[in-house]
Amino acid sequence: MPLKSPLARAPRSGARRQDRRARSCALFAPLIALWLAPACLVDLEDRCGENQHYDAEQVTCLCDAEYALSGNACVACPEHEVGSPGGCVCEPGFTRPEPEAACEMAAGLGDECQSDADCGDPLYGHCQLPSEEQAGYCTIADCSTSADCQGQDYACNTRNTGQSPSFCERPPTGLGQACSSSDDCAGFEAGYCETVSFDSCVVNDCAPDPGKCHGDWVCCDIGLLSQSLCVPPSELSDGNCPAGGSLVPVEAP
């Protein structure tokens, strides 16, 4: 049995009924207002927090560019950093020397390095160390041909496959520099001025160690000059050295 209110027990006269309805309305009004008062809480066009945007594909809120997730908020990334799902990361060309350090300009092609970690630019992420004592330089690893090497005069060295990956080897210092005599090439790794054809500094005396020629360059023993010189493979004609020279083979490591 439902509870009977005093209202329900009132005698049924027209005036009383009217009074009852009025009281019902008085009761209804505030309660209905309770429903109508609150508007929508959620704006589906703006359903994420500060510095966030909605990704409908993933049905999630992602941080705006220049912001990254830190805990449960999107925080502005420091200079030279961009947002990523894993937090702020260095812009391309920048690297973080230590995990908590600020991003610095990454070592690029040919820049000095001690290990791969020093080569921030992913393109040139390999640190080629000539020896343990010497500082290395950043370059491209795993090249197939010199066309893979994007730096000027860098050439693909595939000879050291037993020790290290193929890599784009930097050119000897002074290579290609214009000269009229070897004095002009003094102090360079390319210390010989070839005046017959190129009038430029080249690496000479490679016959005892053909590996001295960088990249895919080869060593030609040219009797005419009484010199062995490093020449690019493009200078070979049907595999033969120019000027009647003989190709000095590289011994397998």
| Contact yes or no for 139/126 (Cβ under 8 A) | yes
Distance (Å, rounded) from C-alpha 165 to C-alpha 45? 52
38 binds other proteins (CB under 8 A): yes
66 binds other proteins (CB under 8 A): no
> Percentages helix, strand, coil for the chain, rounded to the nearest 5?
20, 25, 55
Segment lying near other proteins (by CB under 8 A), choices 37-45, 95-103, 137-145, 188-196: 37-45
Among 15, 26, 44, 101, binds other proteins (CB under 8 A): 44
Look at residues 217, 214, 173 and name the one whose alpha carbon lies nearest to residue 192: 173
18 binds other proteins (CB under 8 A): no
27 binds other proteins (CB under 8 A): yes
What is the C-alpha R_g of the chain? 39
64 binds other proteins (CB under 8 A): no
Q: Which is nearer to other proteins, 33 or 147 (CB)?
A: 33
Minimum distance from residue 230 beta carbon to other proteins (Å):
52
61 binds other proteins (CB under 8 A): yes
User: Which residue type sits at 106?
Assistant: A
| Contact yes or no for 189/162 (Cβ under 8 A) | no
59 binds other proteins (CB under 8 A): yes
123 phi and psi angles, rounded to 5 deg: -65, -35
Among 11, 14, 26, 34, binds other proteins (CB under 8 A): 34
State the number of binding residues for other proteins (CB under 8 A). Answer: 42
26 binds other proteins (CB under 8 A): no
Among 19, 50, 112, 209, binds other proteins (CB under 8 A): 50
Site string for other proteins, 83-122 (x = CB under 8 A): --x-------------------------------------
User: Footprint of other proteins on this chain (CB under 8 A)?
Assistant: 1-8, 17, 20-21, 24, 27-28, 31-32, 34-35, 38, 40-44, 47-50, 52, 54-55, 58-63, 69, 72-74, 85
